[in-house]
Chains A and B, each alone.
Chain A
Amino acid sequence: AQSVAQPEDQVNVAEGNPLTVKCTYSVSGNPYLFWYVQYPNRGLQFLLKYITGDNLVKGSYGFEAEFNKSQTSFHLKKPSALVSDSALYFCAVRDGSNYQLIWGAGTKLIIKP
């Protein structure tokens, strides 16, 4: 069965420091991996995705993610955090044979000035 794990409920980072939000997955076929961000009382905003090709994927707002097949991970990263990056981040996966997204429980990112 497909699954996604976000092992950290919350990540605290000082403004200007690099940030990492972790995601590991389990899927039977080739994984399609996604990161979304959710601000309070808002819907989900697409950040980036991995389908195939380069293991380092660049997305919106300076975010990037690294696909690691051997570790079945897709961690979200940003070199320098902004206070405005504070939000809830979700990792999602689907395999190539269907379009249903399976979601992690989310990680709350808090960037302190």
Chain B
Amino acid sequence: ETGVTQSPTHLIKTRGQQVTLRCSSQSGHNTVSWYQQALGQGPQFIFQYYREEENGRGNFPPRFSGLQFPNYSSELNVNALELDDSALYLCASSLVGSRTDTQYFGPGTRLTVL
């Protein structure tokens, strides 16, 4: 176990709704990255948060937004859900600036958009 937790485990929403996914990082880590993994594909980088600021962003529209809190936990918010948003959403925590900067993943949240 990595110590990274995500909630909820599963979620079903309808098109147009909004969703918030949550992630608690591993103790001692200061950075959270979010990924979207569609069925049968590799993860796609959404964004990364470091010191409560967005530290990099992949090719995702602005309706994907996030927050990082002082305790380094994080939220991923998706507005105006579309069918293609159905995927496994993975959160990873790491310690930026260390030589052992490895991302450790949570179990994911399976989002289904109907």
Contacts and interface: CB of A to CB of B under 8 A. Distances in A.
Interface residues of B, number: 28
Interface of A: 4, 32, 34, 36, 41-46, 49, 51, 90, 98-106
Interface of B: 2, 4, 6, 31, 33, 41-45, 48, 55-56, 58, 90, 92, 94, 96, 99, 101-108, 110
A76 to B, nearest CB: 15
A4 B41 CA distance: 13
23 contacts: A41-B110, A42-B107, A42-B108, A43-B106, A43-B107, A44-B105, A45-B2, A46-B2, A46-B102, A46-B104, A90-B42, A99-B31, A99-B48, A99-B55, A99-B56, A99-B101, A100-B56, A100-B58, A103-B42, A103-B43, A105-B42, A106-B41, A106-B42
